[in-house]
Amino acid sequence: MSLPPADWPNATDSRSVRVGGIDWHAQIAGDGPVLLLLHGTGAATHSWRDMLHPLAQHFRVIAPDLPGHGFTKGRPPNGLTMPGVARALAGLLGELDAEPALVVGHSAGAAIAIRMALDGLVRPAGIVGIAPALLPFPGIAQHLFPTMAKLLFVNPFAPHIFASVARGPGAVERFLARSTASKIDAAGNAAYAKLFATSAHCAGAIGMMADWDLVPLKRDLPKLAVPMLVLHGEKDAAIPVSGALDSVALIPDCALEVLPGLGHLAHEEAPHLAVDRILHFARTQAILATEGAVA
């Protein structure tokens, strides 16, 4: 069973689903049009802790832990590549008999959402990307970063080393603040600390970075035929606003909203603002009825 402990955020909404050799942990709540929430690299369902129930008032929300992350056990046949994860998620949705009307992804989760739409694995009426990681690193970093991640991935000791460091007092909180420029609450910091103190989760995050290739996604972004909204923190230390502008320019029907004073984890810093912008977008795309409309 791939279930979190009872003190995990929204643990009562957790379900274990086995599909294609993967034991998925997913949190499912609400009724209505299906909303798929996809977290970023190194995160898990806790990333949506303060958004799940507000969104579940309008949607059937499905928030899985990605393969290699959180409490999901097992990996797709082709590893943690973007197409491989996308196909594995499609298998989970098929098992749940769920066709997303809207997909919301944070960082790498947004890239997966777009890949799924481009490959015909989902046919949503809209996609929301929160601090989406859609473009390769510039210059030599485009090749250097994945190579370093691959070297770490093949080192069996690397995940254990990262987990050991993460167990140090305040280590994860300092890392998040420095790398994301976000100030999240104690519950969020505690959840990240639990995850990064686990070598399996560290291995999953390193493995995803090692297998990630954004060059094909960049090439295909102009083919995206789904309306998209990008929400991007003004102070994002992981992906600057300039990077968001570059990616938005490649997508035919895409709007960018910069969120003042927020970092890479904007949806965790200001969950109610994120929910408000998602609901507004869903109404503009006729996924939800407009407020005040008579049924």
**What integer is the mean pLDDT of 74-99?**
94
Whether pTM > 0.85 for this model: the answer is yes
Question: What is the predicted pLDDT for the residue at 151?
Answer: 41
Say if residue 98's pLDDT is above 90: yes
- Element holding 177 (H helix, E strand): helix 171-180
163 in any annotated domain: no
Range of the domain at 55: 11-138+214-284
223 in any annotated domain: yes
Our count of domains for the chain comes to 1
234 in any annotated domain: yes
191 in any annotated domain: no
pLDDT in tens, 255-269: 999 999 999 999 999
Pairing mode, strands 22-29 and 34-38: unpaired
3 in any annotated domain: no
Is residue 192 within 8 Å of 198, Cβ to Cβ? no
Say if residue 134's pLDDT is above 90: yes
Say if residue 110's pLDDT is above 90: yes
1 in any annotated domain: no
| Domain at 229, CATH number | 3.40.50.1820
Closest-CA residue to 165 (of 112, 202, 213): 202
269 in any annotated domain: yes
State the Cα–Cα distance between residues 270 and 259, nearest whole angstrom: 10
Say if residue 156's pLDDT is above 80: no
State the Cα–Cα distance between residues 118 and 122, nearest whole angstrom: 8
Whose tokens are 């570059």? That residue is: 246
Question: What is the predicted pLDDT for the residue at 18?
Answer: 96
pLDDT in tens, 22-49: 999 999 999 999 999 999 999 999 999 9
Which residues on neighbouring strands pair with residue 65, listed in sequence order? Answer: none
207 in any annotated domain: no
